[in-house]
Structure 1
């Protein structure tokens, strides 16, 4: 079977991998990608329909058909993205609130998933409705982790990020970084719970399912064990560029925090703290990669919180 990968992988994927610390490994993976794709199609007897573009920032997504004609999605994850942990989280949820895994070979970063409507995420809905659906979707994911799991914790994950934050932060944002790190230390010291989290939950990570099981299902988890407020913090800043262009953005941001916290029974101050920390960490990371506009937008947002 000839490879179906176009001569050039989707540019979003290429550009995202170029900015990663493991750039050499990512480049090798991109070079080997056509052969890996061909291999997985042959071994699982899949018929490729098309490569999804622009696709993801850390994986190649290919729409396929299973031997019986059932539609599926083949996901090949890049180095630095743990297919093992993603598969483990999706298997534990077993289709409850998240996409279902049909087959996996995590040593090669390969996941065969049920087909969702990838072109329709919660971002296609009006803001108020999108937030209501997001709250409903994420609530289903917050369950006790399986025994003997290998997931990392929010505490350890953010400790590693905090070290990088200190090393990369420009001097002019030092006060905001100091506030973020102080909040992070206080939050991990008094965490009220330890549930399975999506880890990168946002409107774009919830796709239309259109089935009897659910109308919307989460995809692309970066699973961690920790408190629910950490999972909501990324959602608070959704549609950031629209928010930046709106009048009264700081007040709108604070109302988002209060509404999400109250609707999901999360402490407002803990959600505010994690929202500020995650925005600062992401902002500094973007600045260090040369994405100045995104970095400055995130730091401006953090200042509103």
Structure 2
């Protein structure tokens, strides 16, 4: 039975159709073109690895990928992850191979040319949004420690990214239009922090999952543990990975009696469990959220006001005193 385009979730189609190639390498296509190819990619992967669709489990999807539950030749459960080709997805299979299932979903097979991965089946109903913030923060910190390993040569260096961000933030601080929409002093602070971090050196030594947040951690029933999924990796510094856990589960943060204390407490919990320096994590978080807000402003995104409001709140919470 072939996979039909009619099976694709409408919300997934609407999301992916907006994607545009992020570079000009061969194979980079817009989202609409890739969606037309997607059913064929699913069928090819099923044939390649002698898989069958698992009709008892629903399709899953994210911002750039479709996840299809399957059964392997001996009946073992797995999932096919087929991703729209973009820069952040290029090294996912390499990162999963490096971790070999230790703290991350296990990679069973990969076809990088088609952006297709065969992965172990985790409990898709159980992520870190389903547990208390205390337990979630401790689990994220423990995963940061478990995933820590020397950087691989294929991982893009964080120092180069930070240098670009420092220049971008510094330029934005002199742009009256941008500074009108995001506090100039915060842009200046973020630029200064980014420059200082680059100047410190030693930034590119560890393999870092840069998108480690509550929805990107699922439960592995056997032996019973949390593991990371969907790695976006750099050769960097583990403190860089703390920020996504601060800007996610935002409704819970807003419900806290004191937003600033709540966000600061998240940093302390995560860093305590990971053995990291909270002050360094705060500095890197300021850089990341300020740059996120700047890119949203430049792109004219529909949710830019929400992004800016959240980013300002996080920067305030990360500032000492």
- Is the TM-score greater than 0.5? yes
Distance 2:17 2:212 in 1: 21
Give the distance between the partners of 2:59 and 2:168, measured in 1 at CA: 32
1:107-186 correspondence to structure 2 within 5 Å: 107-146=113-152, 149-161=153-165, 166=171, 170-172=178-180, 173=182, 174-186=184-196
| CA distance in structure 2 between the aligned counterparts of 1:58 and 1:159, rounded to whole angstroms | 27
Task: Point out the more displaced range, 111-120 or 226-235.
Answer: 226-235
Task: Report if the CA contact (8 A) 1:10-1:53 is conserved.
Answer: no
Please give the residue correspondences for 1:47-62 in structure 2 after superposition, counting only pairs within 5 Å. Answer: 47-49=52-54, 55-62=61-68
Show the counterpart of 1:104: 110
Which residue number in structure 2 is paired with residue 18 of structure 1?
18
CA distance in 1, matches of 2:9, 2:111: 21
- Residue in 2 that maps onto 1:295: 307
Contact 1:97 1:137 in 2 (8 A): yes
Which structure 1 residue ranges, 5 or more long, are not aligned? none
CA distance in 1, matches of 2:112, 2:21: 22
1:226 to 215, 236, 241: 236
The corresponding residue for 1:196 is 207
TM-score (norm: length of structure 2): 0.85
Q: Classify 1:128/1:210 alpha carbon distance in 2 versus 1 (closer, same or farther; 3 Å).
A: same
TM-fit CA distance, 1:136: 1.4
8 Å Cα contact 2:60/2:68 also seen in 1: no
Give the aligned partner of residue 37 of structure 2: 32
* Structure 1 range deviating more: 58-67 or 263-272: 263-272
TM-score (norm 1): 0.89
Whole-angstrom distance in 2 between the partners of 1:170 and 1:24: 31
Unaligned runs of 5+ in 2: 23-27
Checking the alignment, whether the CA contact within 8 Å between 1:11 and 1:54 is kept in structure 2 is: no
Name the SS of the counterpart of 1:113 in structure 2: strand
Instruction: State how far apart, in whole Å, the 2-side matches of 1:85 and 1:301 are.
Output: 29
Structure 1 vs Structure 2 CA RMSD? 2.5
Higher deviation after alignment, 184-193 or 95-104: 184-193
| 2:109 partner SS | strand
Q: Secondary structure at the match of 1:75?
A: strand
Distance in 2 of aligned mates of 1:176 and 1:198: 26
Does structure 1 retain, via aligned residues, the 8 Å contact 2:65–2:82?
Answer: yes
Deviations 1:155-201 (A, max 9, x none): 12334455666569823213322221211111122145511111111
1:236 aligns with 2:246: yes
Report what 1:89 is aligned to: 95
- CA displacement at 1:4 relative to structure 2: 4.3
Partner of 2:25: none
